[in-house]
Structure 1
Amino acid sequence: MTIFQVIILAIIEGLTEFLPVSSTGHMIIGSSLMGIQSNAFVKLFTVAIQLGTILSVVILYFKRFFQSFDFYFKLLVAFIPAIFFGALFSDMIDDLLESPLAVAISLVLGGIILLYADQWFNKPQIESTDQISYPTAFKIGLMQCLAMLPGVSRSGATIIGGMSQKLSRKAAAEFSFFLAVPTMLGATVKKIWDFYKTGHQINGDELNMLLLGNAIGFIVAIIAIKSFIGYVTKHGFRVFGWYRILVGGIILILLLAGKDLQIV
């Protein structure tokens, strides 16, 4: 990868990770348009730059992360389903992750759901993440497992999961951000472990790329999170539904045109 490609992928990651639009789908389009060839380091990079976006959540919600142990227990309860189903279906998930067609279909179907989410879940009773019970946290964690299917969007699955449990748009979005921290941290640590376990090493240039990618992802994610919370509180998710359908349609068109798309 070139420095320019690193910057573009980091911006894509920072913009899309916490929005219900699927960062995987955007990574496919971005890497394809830039002609990035997938290899061990590229696959590590696209996961490891999540560390920057994770840090953005911790910084923005610093007080919440150091408020009470109850907060961490709820995150743990919500995180448990991902550990269980991730281990149980790891091989199937790896196979699906190699399919741009699966990503495109998930994007379109998820987009259709977002078009109607505001109508389906329009009577919230929980306005703050502090009001979330342990059973509710677990149910949201189950919904997060849907994001193991490429293109579903972890953010989208957890936000819809929260709204289905009568959380307000803001509370559902914020809990989705919080749950992203252990989920994405776990995925990143596993990816780094697998990278070194298979005998790969990171050289100086690659380390600089990772540092640059995380720094850019951190800054962009802060802007994206602030903008997203303000927008969905006032306007809902309909625009994100149409956007997902558009992105999924672009991937389908590229596939029909014979474009060799790779999931980096």
Structure 2
Amino acid sequence: MDWLLIALVVPAAALYGALAGALVPGALYRLSVEPEEAWRTAAPCGHRLGGWAGRARCGVCGGRYGPGAVWPAGVTAVVCAGTAAAVGARPELAVWLLAIPVAVVLAGVDWAVHRLPDVLTVPLAVGVAASLGVAAVLPGAGGSWTGALLGGPALGGAYLLLYLAHPAGMGFGDVKLAAGLGCVLGWYGWGVLILGGLAGLLLGSLYGIGLMLTRRAGRGATMPLGPFLIAGAWAGLLAGGWSVRP
């Protein structure tokens, strides 16, 4: 299995990630708007945008807008390859590979405008939960659908309490994102759920401390937490994937 994993699964996941990541810029441009603003429907040149996914280039005049495709494709490829190496050729790998480009878009949007759109966070949670239900009945599944269904409300509820205790330090979008990430982490058990949830908070805290130490932000400044929650969840996912490998 090891040679097959290295020779087929990981390169295939990396190629898929690069192709999927190349479609991210269009969605990033559409969704990277300030809170309460409508999603973008036109390019800076004034021509109407065609679809939600694709490169950030006008289909009429060819003008470029938004981010390039290099970093989204590279990041998505690396994350997909790493996930495949940890999880192996298990049914849940397909669920993770479908969710990763969505997570990259969410991280990019939150980093740009400190916003986690409901149009992605809610379908991510529902889609992961439903897809894992299918993966659970297939041979070789490495987790528990019950754990995933419990993990979503558990992590989302924990972040809801943090939000209610300190609304200035966390947005409600982070709570909804946590519900989807909880489904992912809960698939591999409570230990992985706790690890991934705490890792996200730790990474976000370290980044905030770094900003204050370098005087790039004050104590009351806002920062995007979503990218760090996603990175922490990925760390937990890798740990969970390796834990069920033979």
TM-score under structure 1 length normalisation: 0.31
Higher RCO by CA contacts (8 Å cutoff, separation 6 or greater): 1
